Amino acid sequence: MNNLKIVLSGIVKNNPTFVLLLGMCPTLGTTTSAVNGAGMGAATMAVLILSNIVISLVKNIIPSKVRIPSYIVIIAAFVTIVELCMRAYLPDLYKTLGVFIPLIVVNCIILGRAEGFAAKNGVWASALDGIGIGLGFTLALTVIGAVREALGSGAIFGHRFISGDGMLIFVLAPGAFLVLGYLMVLFNRLTAKMRS
């Protein structure tokens, strides 16, 4: 596989949100606005790239029976590092995303890529896979967040284009499921040719 193909595969063919349906909890929980979705996606991407790199580096010294605990320790360390950095340098975003940041530890995308890709491929390919899957996740969350924000609050990236309220249900939990479902249909329809 060449480099571009690995990255593109993470965005289209193996899009974690619309195709693999992994990491649904932060997807539904944090996408009340485009900025929140993008922030969550970026934090996950940072952890994903770092853990992919490290796991592909140490894969040969880990006995197979303790590989899952080892991966979890590595992932948890990176999540804590990302969390501390966010609290220090992006306190506002950290306040909005709150509990979802520590929960990145148990995000199946990350462990899934560690086990499914980084444990079988080299450092460079694993880093690219982290970038691709991370971008796919970030784009998906940003789009879901933008649609929910536009319909629910009448704003795009915090800029309001209507006065008064939008359709509140889209900011609430049911709206997350509705938007995710329709976007999933749209995404799979539009990329059907590319994925085949």
Residues near other proteins (CB under 8 A): 32, 58, 60-66, 69-70, 73-74, 76-77, 80-81, 84-85, 87-89, 91, 95, 152-153, 165, 168, 171-172
Amino acid found at 175: G
CB of 85 to other proteins, least distance (A): 6
Q: State how far the Cα of 117 lies from the Cα of 83, in Å rounded to an integer.
A: 25
CB of 80 to other proteins, least distance (A): 5
CB of 141 to other proteins, least distance (A): 18
Question: Closest CB to other proteins among 50 and 140?
Answer: 50
CB of 56 to other proteins, least distance (A): 14
**119 CB-near residues (< 8 Å, 6+ apart):** 55, 56, 59, 67
Question: Closest CB to other proteins among 26 and 152?
Answer: 152
Burial classification of residue 191, based on how many CB atoms lie within 10 Å of its CB (0-12 exposed, 13-18 middle, 19 or more buried): middle
DSSP state, 114? I
Question: Closest CB to other proteins among 1 and 172?
Answer: 172
Q: State how far the Cα of 60 lies from the Cα of 56, in Å rounded to an integer.
A: 8
DSSP per position, 20-57: S---HHHHHHHTTSHHHHHHHHHHHHHHHHHHHHHHHH
Q: State the Cα torsion 174-177-181-186 to the nearest 10°.
A: 80
CB of 65 to other proteins, least distance (A): 5
Question: Closest CB to other proteins among 25 and 68?
Answer: 68
Question: Closest CB to other proteins among 81 and 190?
Answer: 81
